[in-house]
A and B are shown apart, each in its own frame.
Chain A
């Protein structure tokens, strides 16, 4: 669905996100997030609550109802901001974004 493609011009927006993963965004960053967050459902990154509000594990959604969510072994987070930053960078690379 998404038309926008990430280019080198977007690197400042990546820095903007990494500074603060929550809250108000510049229009440029919002456009990138719309692309990233609209991906899926197959392979979509999600975070699995292992201990409520304390520990999360990275996971990916399956293609269809009834199939299990896959857990990415060894990738855990102890706060939501860390999870947001890590997934942002994974998606940035997946979408061909330049080095940040």
Chain B
């Protein structure tokens, strides 16, 4: 298990910039830190050997290790202004709710002074507290169904009333008791929605735009008023209308009343969610935003650990671009070291002179951050065709779900995880960590699999810059244009529009792309300046996906973009790489069988020194499944956009029956859609030139890099990659 974990404030920093390190003890008493360049993170005995090197930089001596808490659970917090809430005497709170989990007591709405709390008790019954008085209804709420809860307090009559009303206007139940609000003098009045306090009483489910009036209303009158939210602001008795359908892109919660008692969301609940009045009228929140008046809260939302900084590191001004880690060694035990990985990108002003760029797919790292596929999902072993291997990072993650989820998980209520974040420890973003999915052999995934590429670059003495997806998203082609060649990682699956435009623009303007992965450029994601360090993904129709966002909720809240596959958004990966996702399996990989096209004179430089006899097996070895073609594989498909001039140099001809057709290809399921039976399930090795003088070499296989690293980088896959890189790096 791990005794110390940590994260930094960024995954990319330029020389001379400052990185903040935030650590927490899980048993460690003290730690020391150093800076290391990470070169090759695979520890497999048949691999090229783990390799990193220290950077001479004093990061200070021994530091005490202390525990920092993580408080998962999203909520809204509102501070009173001008004593609008503090002056309340009689009032009515009306709020539609749709609970999705009903174990334990959960707070829907809390007004701290006079101590009003609307809640669901541990039996799923709605209740209200006012000071010492508690009122409960007998009827339980129904999971996944809307109910309007109306709680009112009449100061003159000294009564507290709670009603549950169905969306059709049927009063399910009303309860009443005597109560009188008692003010707590001198205390700031706050409102909490979906939690009693951070980490306490969190609500799972949807809450739709609470409304507060300054007089008691009968439940059906309150319902009538809520049904016409656009008229509320002219009502003199309106105190607040927290209209969740406004400013959905960010963290602001807008009070649409004249009082402007605005609030904020914390821990990134799902916004732009269908509300109690949505019945399928619209599928895009930008068209009828007033119908997207709900927020879906989860007790396990967590996008910011919020730890305080232990220390800062100022990177040397002359530090070369590359992969680095601030290594924290707890209690002088190097075997327990925690690595905070980041890229040192080129300087923001001025270039390094390097003409080769490794594009570190940090968005895809975040998509998989702390993923629990081998822990939560029994079917993972079916798709792996092997036993699930658990290393100490996975065991730690199993016991600490508060570290937050990846896009591959569902929340405790079964709804999909829309957000992933770098503002927390990401245990699998460290060298030496095993994966679940990496295939027979090294069994490494994402970051560690990508170090097969950085190790190869280091082995061949190729100077290159490293930039991250977030750099690419923010700076686009202005950052890429300085390079002759861009190399991808093994699985650059998650792309924002800005990232995709940048790489496509690079190739269109004469840039050379080496796509060293499989299933790349597949899912659409969004970044947002209002949510630093967080990405959003809504897995709409099709795609290999563990959840769907729910009807009417396919558009991202961050940007309004229609989520899902780039293929369904008119930007199939074939346009960029010549290939499209074909299948996945995580047991064994295969060689490519070379085609007649391998002998085309256009491919001479690719095969320099390599036997290209048609039908020959190429790449029948490797650390990721013992073949160069495997894990997740792409095929050329001229009907789906592969450029007609593309040469298909080789193809894998068979895969195990773990490999199945993707949902987007499987329009009409038939029992012949597995790896031993279907021609579409293959990896194609492709090369093509573009009109603008660019060129693309695509491997269509996650396992390719594991073959590059085979036999200490001395093999035909390594040689071919080097042939291509050297030619591509030549100008003109």
Query: For residue B691, which residues in chain A have a CB less than 8 angstroms away from its CB?
Result: none
- Decide: B398 and A45 in contact? CB cutoff 8 A: no
User: Does B676 interact with chain A (Cβ within 8 Å)?
Assistant: yes
Query: For residue B392, which residues in chain A have a CB less than 8 angstroms away from its CB?
Result: 49
- Decide: A65 and B398 in contact? CB cutoff 8 A: yes
A18 to B245, CA, bound (A): 59
- Decide: B389 and A68 in contact? CB cutoff 8 A: no
Q: Knowing A33-B382, A49-B434, A56-B389 touch, does A41 contact B375 (C-beta < 8 A)?
A: yes
A62 to B394, CA, bound (A): 13
Of chain A, the residue at the smallest CB distance from B392 is A49
Of chain B, the residue at the smallest CB distance from A40 is B378
User: Does B310 interact with chain A (Cβ within 8 Å)?
Assistant: no
- Contact partner of A41 (CB less than 8 A), chosen from B45, B378, B434, B587, is B378
B380-399 vs A, CB cutoff 8 Å, 1 = contact: the mask equals 01100111111110010011
User: Does B225 interact with chain A (Cβ within 8 Å)?
Assistant: no
A9 to B385, CA, bound (A): 22
A58-84 vs B, CB cutoff 8 Å, 1 = contact: the mask equals 010110011111000000000010011
Of chain B, the residue at the smallest CB distance from A61 is B375
User: Does B44 interact with chain A (Cβ within 8 Å)?
Assistant: yes
For chain A, residues 13 to 49, give those with C-beta under 8 angstroms from any C-beta of chain B: 22-25, 27, 30, 33-34, 37-41, 44-49
User: Does B725 interact with chain A (Cβ within 8 Å)?
Assistant: no
- Decide: B399 and A67 in contact? CB cutoff 8 A: yes
Q: Knowing A46-B389, A83-B387 touch, does A68 contact B399 (C-beta < 8 A)?
A: yes
Q: Knowing A33-B382, A68-B399, A69-B395 touch, does A49 contact B390 (C-beta < 8 A)?
A: yes
- Decide: A62 and B378 in contact? CB cutoff 8 A: no
User: Does A53 interact with chain B (Cβ within 8 Å)?
Assistant: yes
A69 to B710, CA, bound (A): 34
Q: Knowing A49-B392, A49-B434, A68-B399 touch, does A22 contact B588 (C-beta < 8 A)?
A: yes
- Contact partner of B440 (CB less than 8 A), chosen from A22, A25, A30, is A22
Query: For residue B395, which residues in chain A have a CB less than 8 angstroms away from its CB?
Result: 48, 68-69
B34-64 vs A, CB cutoff 8 Å, 1 = contact: the mask equals 0000000001110000000000000000000
Query: For residue A53, which residues in chain B have a CB less than 8 angstroms away from its CB?
Result: 43-45
A46 to B522, CA, bound (A): 30
Query: For residue A54, which residues in chain B have a CB less than 8 angstroms away from its CB?
Result: 45
For chain B, residues 13 to 39, give those with C-beta under 8 angstroms from any C-beta of chain A: none
A64 to chain B, nearest CB (A): 9
User: Does A87 interact with chain B (Cβ within 8 Å)?
Assistant: yes
Query: For residue A48, which residues in chain B have a CB less than 8 angstroms away from its CB?
Result: 389-391, 395
- Contact partner of A44 (CB less than 8 A), chosen from B378, B434, B440, B587, is B378
A48 to B388, CA, bound (A): 9
- Decide: B376 and A41 in contact? CB cutoff 8 A: yes
- Contact partner of A30 (CB less than 8 A), chosen from B45, B376, B588, B657, is B657
Q: Knowing A38-B382, A46-B374 touch, does A87 contact B401 (C-beta < 8 A)?
A: no
B41 to chain A, nearest CB (A): 12
- Contact partner of B381 (CB less than 8 A), chosen from A24, A37, A49, A56, is A37
B1 to chain A, nearest CB (A): 9
A contact residues, total (Cβ < 8 Å): 35
B252-295 vs A, CB cutoff 8 Å, 1 = contact: the mask equals 00000000000000000000000000000000000000000000
Of chain B, the residue at the smallest CB distance from A46 is B388
User: Does B379 interact with chain A (Cβ within 8 Å)?
Assistant: yes
Instruction: Classify the interface of chain B: helix, strand, loop or mixed.
Output: loop
User: Does B656 interact with chain A (Cβ within 8 Å)?
Assistant: yes
Of chain B, the residue at the smallest CB distance from A34 is B382
Of chain B, the residue at the smallest CB distance from A23 is B588
Q: Knowing A40-B378, A52-B43 touch, does A24 contact B656 (C-beta < 8 A)?
A: yes
9 pairs from A and B in contact (CB 8 Å cutoff): A24-B676, A25-B657, A46-B389, A46-B390, A65-B376, A66-B400, A68-B395, A69-B395, A69-B398
A69 to chain B, nearest CB (A): 6
- Decide: B434 and A52 in contact? CB cutoff 8 A: yes
- Decide: A87 and B434 in contact? CB cutoff 8 A: no
Query: For residue B378, which residues in chain A have a CB less than 8 angstroms away from its CB?
Result: 37-41, 44
- Contact partner of A47 (CB less than 8 A), chosen from B43, B389, B432, B440, is B389
B167 to chain A, nearest CB (A): 33
A59 to B400, CA, bound (A): 18
A32 to chain B, nearest CB (A): 12
A62 to B44, CA, bound (A): 28
Query: For residue A52, which residues in chain B have a CB less than 8 angstroms away from its CB?
Result: 43, 391, 432, 434
Most buried by A among B376, B377, B389, B588: B389
Most buried by B among A33, A41, A46, A54: A46
A96 to chain B, nearest CB (A): 19
- Contact partner of B656 (CB less than 8 A), chosen from A25, A41, A49, is A25
A46 to B375, CA, bound (A): 9
A9 to chain B, nearest CB (A): 20
A28 to B412, CA, bound (A): 36
Query: For residue A40, which residues in chain B have a CB less than 8 angstroms away from its CB?
Result: 378, 381
A76 to B540, CA, bound (A): 43
